Chain A
Amino acid sequence: MKIPAILLVCALAAAAQQLTYERLLHPEKEPSNWLTYSGNYAGHRHSPLTQINDSNVGKLKVAWVYQTNSLQKFEATPIVIDGIMYVSEPPSNMAAIDTRTGRALWRYRRQLPDDLRVCCGQVNRGVAVLGDLVYLGTLDGHLLALDTKTGAIRWDTVVVDYKLGYSITVAPLAVKDKIVIGVAGGEYGARGVLDAYHARTGKQAWRFWTVPGPGEPGNETWKGDSWKSGAADTWVTGAFDPATNLIYWGTGNPGPDWNGEVRLGDNLYSDSIVAVDADSGKLKWYFQFTPHDVHDWDATEVPVLIDAEVRGEKRKLLLFPNRNAFYYVLDRVTGKFLLGKPYAKQTWAKGLDDSGRPIRVEGTTPTLQGVKVWPSVAGANNWYSPAYSPVTNLFYVAVRDSGAVYYTGEAVYKPGERFDGGGFRAIAGEEEQGFIRAYKPTTAEVAWEYKLHSAPWAGVLSTAGNLVFGATNEGQIFALNARTGAPLWRFQATSLLVRSNPMTYAVDGKQYIAMTLGNSLYAFTIE
């Protein structure tokens, strides 16, 4: 049958439907897609797809591989919308990829200056999409909007001056008609911001400084002028709750990392979760996990939002397994501390008081000669993602168990130069431990654990197919039974580092699991 031309045009226009905020609010209505960094605003990294499940996952095979033209770490979580994948590549590049074949539809390559300031690799963790634009933060401190259909630059806004020690590695988050983005620069004393830009034009909508300036509440928690180089950067994508209209975003270490003498005080809002109004960027509440941190324990983990009963009351919660080795449950309406307990070896705090403030162990502050403390600088958890399954009501976390020797050093701030004030090294002879653990979300009780060979740098994905996917430092991606932790499938993908998170999508009625492993993006499916 010959389709009349007019009908054909309509069909295609429908296929090229735009990604609206309405769609971002309800990703569960379109499980074939993966619309935001964590799959939904609540940070769940969970998919309702069941085609790949605990009975057939053993048959999972590589469908295609997309290799990046860089040996920098490939950390991005792809976004998939209606059969097209948008993924950032190191250092500040991106591609739109056909999800059936793995072929690029367009590629964007950014020319970067030579004098970038990055602490830990020229990386990028992903993009955001809204309407017909896709948003990418760059190592030279810009936020770009590219045409989803062609990759052409539509606008280019300077967020921060990279020469002051900033870079952008975080995946932006599209909220309403704005693009929310944070910055990195914690090892350069670059004073943190959380910004929102109008999605259509790139004009700034609001800015929240994570270190308060003079006259603002919290500025008194920094001795002298130390707030100016206070860091507290915002380099991991946060969560959003349309009911509270709050954006929840983690902040990084205070600057300098290890020499706290030059910045006496609690150093607000470093190592905190900040809850800011999505329309104005005004601070509603904050909770600081590690006041006056001297171990570089950024609270740049992914906040996970669930609703559940705690202390006899049904509440809106925020779950936060912190780099400092304590697992926190907060009330996300008020910021009230509800629960906190260690979930990996830690030697720095005797415990938390009723308000959640740590009770420090003496002698754990870094010294010139070095002092041994657990957890290590990489922490019990890090930027990679956890997953929450509403099906099993379990919270899956890739847990690291290791210590470090921390020492102090000179800390003289010069804009744009490293500002660490010390350092760390591994504990000779110590073997790092690693686990995938399933926690009961409100009590942090372990339901099961799967032991890894070493402390992981990759996050997890849970699916309604009763599966949890993760990856190892040794280059494998694997699947576990979501209820028992029993291993069901594995694939040796790379001899390089795996530092990323798995995701899933479906196209033409077929489910795929996708993850960047080494310098390649793999898509797996069952034939």
Chain B
Amino acid sequence: MIPVLLWFLFQAAPLMDLPNVTENPYAAAADIALGQKLYKGRCAGCHGLTGDGGKGANLAVRDLPRAQTEQALYRVVRYGIPETEMPATLMAPREVWQIAAFVRSLGSASQDATRGNAAAGEQVVSAKGGCLQCHAIGLKGGRMGPALSDIGGKRSPGHLRGKLLDPAADLVDTFRLATVTTKDGRKITGVRLNEDPFSIQIRDFSDGIHSFFKEQLASVHVERRTTMPSYKGRLSAAEIEDVVAYLLTLRGNVQ
């Protein structure tokens, strides 16, 4: 119990203490090397060892939109991005700077040469791939899957590639399918919007929103699976790269 509580104390709403500097004071080669070690333990699980894999944002780019200054990078690394999946991490200031130095080195080192063509990817997404049947991008698209309008700021190219080839391998944690059966025998299946010990909320496949107190229900069945098809074999390797390139451009900049 106490560890959980402590975790919240440190993670939830840290008082921000930002160093008042414009340059990273720990950016020598030795700092970057140490930063890499720290990164491996604390960040690589989400961002991948080279910054371009995992469920986190792409760090293998020269320009990090949420970390355009050194101070902004310090803040993101130490305090996370509130209300997103990017967590705060407890570290001493020197360690934060060393990780920050390593993150910057990821961007300048690996500019992905084999990147696909985003314009071609947009075509695949709206036509051959049929993605908009299930996903919303701006004004277009359906609601069977999560909206992709800002996916490029959230996920790495490695993760997006993996999602297209083997969608079941790594699921969106907040997107589960639920089937409930009411005591009078009605069965409703859809996306689970919320759940607690006493109630559950579901959006069915015709976009009807339902809320049930569990005492009204005979059964609740929540599944960890996806309706997203695999595109392995359905799209060529080049098309997959094009789709990934396009998805990376989606940063909430709809219209």
Bound-state CA distance A318–B18 (Å) is 52
Number of interface residues of A (CB under 8 A): 34
Residue pairs across A and B with Cβ atoms less than 8 A apart, 13 shown, are A12-B207, A12-B208, A13-B206, A98-B194, A101-B213, A103-B194, A105-B201, A111-B66, A150-B143, A152-B146, A152-B147, A154-B136, A155-B139
Residues of B within 8 A of A308 (CB): none
Whether A119 sits at the interface, judged by CB under 8 Å, is no
| Residue from the list B138, B185, B208 in contact with A155, Cβ < 8 A | B138
Q: Nearest residue in A to B255 (C-beta to C-beta)?
A: A155
Whether A243 sits at the interface, judged by CB under 8 Å, is no
Bound-state CA distance A155–B253 (Å) is 9
A97 to chain B, nearest CB (A): 10
Residues of B within 8 A of A13 (CB): 206-208
Bound-state CA distance A201–B138 (Å) is 10
Residues of A within 8 A of B213 (CB): 100-101
Q: State whether A147 and B143 are in contact (beta carbons under 8 Å apart), knowing that A69-B83, A152-B149 are contacts in the complex.
A: yes
Determine if B149 and A153 form an interchain contact, defined as CB atoms under 8 angstroms apart: yes
Whether A106 sits at the interface, judged by CB under 8 Å, is yes
Q: State whether A98 and B201 are in contact (beta carbons under 8 Å apart), knowing that A84-B209, A154-B138 are contacts in the complex.
A: yes
| Residue from the list A104, A149, A157 in contact with B143, Cβ < 8 A | A149
B78 to chain A, nearest CB (A): 15
Whether B108 sits at the interface, judged by CB under 8 Å, is no
Bound-state CA distance A2–B181 (Å) is 12
Whether A120 sits at the interface, judged by CB under 8 Å, is no
Whether A3 sits at the interface, judged by CB under 8 Å, is yes
Interface centre among B138, B150, B213, B253 (most CB of A within 10 A): B138
Q: Nearest residue in A to B140 (C-beta to C-beta)?
A: A154
Residues of A within 8 A of B143 (CB): 147, 149-150, 152
Determine if B254 and A156 form an interchain contact, defined as CB atoms under 8 angstroms apart: yes
Please encode chain A, from 10 to 23, with 1 for each CB lying within 8 Å of some chain B CB and 0 for all others: 00110110000000
Q: State whether A16 and B252 are in contact (beta carbons under 8 Å apart), knowing that A98-B201, A103-B201 are contacts in the complex.
A: no
Q: Nearest residue in B to A1 (C-beta to C-beta)?
A: B185
Q: Nearest residue in A to B202 (C-beta to C-beta)?
A: A105
Q: State whether A16 and B206 are in contact (beta carbons under 8 Å apart), knowing that A101-B213, A155-B255, A201-B139 are contacts in the complex.
A: yes
Bound-state CA distance A461–B84 (Å) is 36
Determine if A2 and B206 form an interchain contact, defined as CB atoms under 8 angstroms apart: no
Residues of B within 8 A of A153 (CB): 138, 147, 149-150, 252, 254
| Residue from the list B147, B204, B252 in contact with A150, Cβ < 8 A | B147
A133-165 with Cβ < 8 A to chain B = 147, 149-150, 152-157
Determine if A16 and B208 form an interchain contact, defined as CB atoms under 8 angstroms apart: yes
Chain B residues near A (Cβ < 8 Å): 66, 81-84, 136, 138-139, 143, 146-147, 149-150, 185-186, 193-194, 196, 198-199, 201, 203-204, 206-209, 211, 213, 252-255
B-side interface mostly: loop
Bound-state CA distance A27–B213 (Å) is 29
Bound-state CA distance A101–B200 (Å) is 9
Determine if B255 and A157 form an interchain contact, defined as CB atoms under 8 angstroms apart: yes
Determine if B211 and A101 form an interchain contact, defined as CB atoms under 8 angstroms apart: yes
Interface centre among B66, B83, B252, B255 (most CB of A within 10 A): B255
A-B residue pairs, 9 tightest by C-beta: A152-B147, A12-B208, A109-B83, A98-B211, A103-B194, A105-B193, A152-B136, A101-B199, A16-B208
User: 6 additional contacts, CB 8 Å, given A149-B209, A152-B147, A154-B136?
Assistant: A15-B209, A93-B83, A98-B199, A154-B138, A154-B254, A155-B254
Determine if B193 and A106 form an interchain contact, defined as CB atoms under 8 angstroms apart: yes
Whether A291 sits at the interface, judged by CB under 8 Å, is no
Residues of B within 8 A of A201 (CB): 139
Whether A9 sits at the interface, judged by CB under 8 Å, is yes
Bound-state CA distance A103–B199 (Å) is 9
Residues of B within 8 A of A104 (CB): 193-194
Determine if A154 and B207 form an interchain contact, defined as CB atoms under 8 angstroms apart: no
Q: Nearest residue in B to A145 (C-beta to C-beta)?
A: B139
Whether A31 sits at the interface, judged by CB under 8 Å, is no
| Residue from the list B66, B84, B147, B254 in contact with A109, Cβ < 8 A | B84
Residues of A within 8 A of B253 (CB): 156
A79-135 with Cβ < 8 A to chain B = 83-84, 93, 98, 100-101, 103-106, 109, 111
Bound-state CA distance A264–B255 (Å) is 42
Determine if B81 and A111 form an interchain contact, defined as CB atoms under 8 angstroms apart: yes
| Residue from the list A2, A83, A149 in contact with B185, Cβ < 8 A | A2
Q: State whether A16 and B209 are in contact (beta carbons under 8 Å apart), knowing that A98-B201, A150-B136 are contacts in the complex.
A: yes
Determine if A83 and B136 form an interchain contact, defined as CB atoms under 8 angstroms apart: no
Bound-state CA distance A69–B211 (Å) is 23
Bound-state CA distance A337–B225 (Å) is 66
Bound-state CA distance A83–B211 (Å) is 9
Please encode chain A, from 292 to 330, with 1 for each CB lying within 8 Å of some chain B CB and 0 for all others: 000000000000000000000000000000000000000
Interface centre among B83, B201, B253 (most CB of A within 10 A): B201
Whether A202 sits at the interface, judged by CB under 8 Å, is yes
Q: State whether A8 and B194 are in contact (beta carbons under 8 Å apart), knowing that A111-B81, A154-B136, A154-B254 are contacts in the complex.
A: no
Bound-state CA distance A154–B70 (Å) is 33
Residues of B within 8 A of A9 (CB): 206
B13 to chain A, nearest CB (A): 8
A490 to chain B, nearest CB (A): 28
Determine if A156 and B209 form an interchain contact, defined as CB atoms under 8 angstroms apart: no
| Residue from the list A12, A152, A154 in contact with B206, Cβ < 8 A | A12
B207 to chain A, nearest CB (A): 5
